[in-house]
Amino acid sequence: MSDKKGTVLFYPYIPKKSLKILENRLSTRWIGQGPMVDKFEKKFSQIFLNGKECVSTGSGTDALHLAYILAGIKKNDEVIAPVFTCTATNIPLLYIGAKIKFVDVDPNTMNICINDLRKKISKKTKAIVCVHYGGIPCDMSEIKKIAKKYNVKVIEDAAQALGGKYKNQNIGTISDFTIFSFQAIKHITTGDGGMLCIKDPKLIEKAKRIRWFGIDRRKKQLGIWKNDIKEVGFKYQLTDLGASIGYQSLIDFKKIISHRLKIYNIYLKNLSQNPNITCIHDFDKNKNCAAWLFTILLKRKDFLQKKLRQKNIETNQVHFRNDKYSIFKKFVKNQKFKNMDKIENRYLVLPIHTKVSEKDAKYICDLINKFI
Ligand SMILES: Cc1ncc(COP(=O)(O)O)c(C=O)c1O
């Protein structure tokens, strides 16, 4: 790989047949939410959810907002959520007016710190939100145990964990609610899109209604005139255009995940030997990582990022601790996040996507090991 060509941090996976698929779709009457969305949901449920029904959305953020509403979270309810995550995890809690209780990061996995979760949960807690950072599954047995003790709902933000497993169970089949994202640079994309997986089948119809203004779309499409809206809904649907690309990506999913894992394992093998670098990884055999990000911790992060940039290799921070954003300040008065403080200036995300070849990944490792 020449230095000139370089490697970008993210690149969308676009199936080869996309142009043809879109051409076909554009020549039908359905481009918004139509039969292709149904087909996409069905395929997704067959691959990841043992056939259980799921509800696609216009984004992972939409799916989170719906999950929080369906979990019964209301204004002023206290919700446990990770301090280190994409802001999309926490912002929909602000839509509702919930009170966020931030939990520190586990510096080994960048997931929620279970010890801090135990300290922060209380009788006032309504729900626990956890995020599988970079595709590394959280300790779901522990989280479930704690949730059971306090009788609270668990919402998994699995935006980054498509194809991940915990104790041989697919992520998406474990908790009360799980969401995925199909935003441009995720494992699969629908342009923008998301999926909401719900344990209680009784909530599916409500999820579908509040995805679409609160209207029962199916009944309406049957030409029924009697009509009412009893709950406020949103306009959070996926489109047939996006679902067409997503459907083909689901067919390609095995190939996508196996490539990402190959790149992930090259980084892990070649960088974990370096005494100046810590690889973010979980060796727990109960966890199958979905390899969305590969993150390293090191003291000379800025130096390495600059050196790699000179070789046209992009690296970045991706997420920033949420407690430092002004919109969340009211939730963090006098609170300390010791682990977050320690790693705040040390993490760096390396490129993983289907355009990174094994040769590219080895070359990036050689450069890192030369510089650090
Ligand atoms: C952890 C996490 N949660 C939620 C989201 C939101 O997903 P979307 O961009 O599809 O709204 C993302 C990604 O963007 C994410 O990485």
Q: What is the pLDDT along the chain (372 residues), one digit of tens a residue?
A: 444 579 999 999 999 999 999 999 999 999 999 999 999 999 999 999 999 999 999 999 999 999 999 999 999 999 999 999 999 999 999 999 999 999 999 999 999 999 999 999 999 999 999 999 999 999 999 999 999 999 999 999 999 999 999 999 999 999 999 999 999 999 999 999 999 999 999 999 999 999 999 998 888 777 777 778 999 999 999 999 999 999 999 999 999 999 999 999 999 999 999 999 999 999 999 999 999 999 999 999 999 999 999 999 999 999 999 999 999 999 999 899 999 999 999 999 999 999 999 999 999 999 999 999
3-state secondary structure of 3: coil
Cα(307) to centroid(ligand 1), Å: 29
Calculate the average pLDDT of the chain: 96
Closest to 292 measured CA to CA, from 11, 7, 59: 11
Residue ID of nearest Cα to ligand 1 atom 7:
60
- Pairwise CA distance, residues 274 & 280, whole Å: 13
pLDDT at residue number 2: 41
pLDDT at residue number 4: 56
Q: Domain 18-251 is in which class?
A: alpha beta
pLDDT at residue number 221: 76
User: CATH 3.40.640.10 occupies which residues in the chain?
Assistant: 18-251
CB-side neighbour CA atoms (13 Å) of 165: 11
- Pairwise CA distance, residues 77 & 74, whole Å: 6
Cα(18) to centroid(ligand 1), Å: 23
Residue ID of nearest Cα to ligand 1 atom 10:
60
pTM for the full model? 0.97
CATH number of the 253-371 domain: 3.90.1150.10
User: CATH 3.90.1150.10 occupies which residues in the chain?
Assistant: 253-371
Atom of ligand 1 nearest to the CA of 194: 10
pLDDT at residue number 1: 46
Atom of ligand 1 nearest to the CA of 192: 10
The ligand 1 site (C-beta within 6 Å) comprises: 59-61, 85-86, 88-89, 131, 157, 159-160, 181, 183, 192, 194
Cα(369) to centroid(ligand 1), Å: 32
**How is residue 283 written in tokens?**
């060796």
Could you give the strand order of the β-sheet that contains 99-103, starting from the edge strand earlier in sequence? 54-57, 194-198, 177-181, 153-157, 125-131, 78-82, 99-103
Cα(45) to centroid(ligand 1), Å: 20
Cα(221) to centroid(ligand 1), Å: 31
Q: Using one digit for the tens of pLDDT, what is the confidence trace for 88-103?
A: 999 999 999 999 999 9
Cα(159) to centroid(ligand 1), Å: 5
CB 89 within 8 A of CB 110: no
CB 196 within 8 A of CB 55: yes
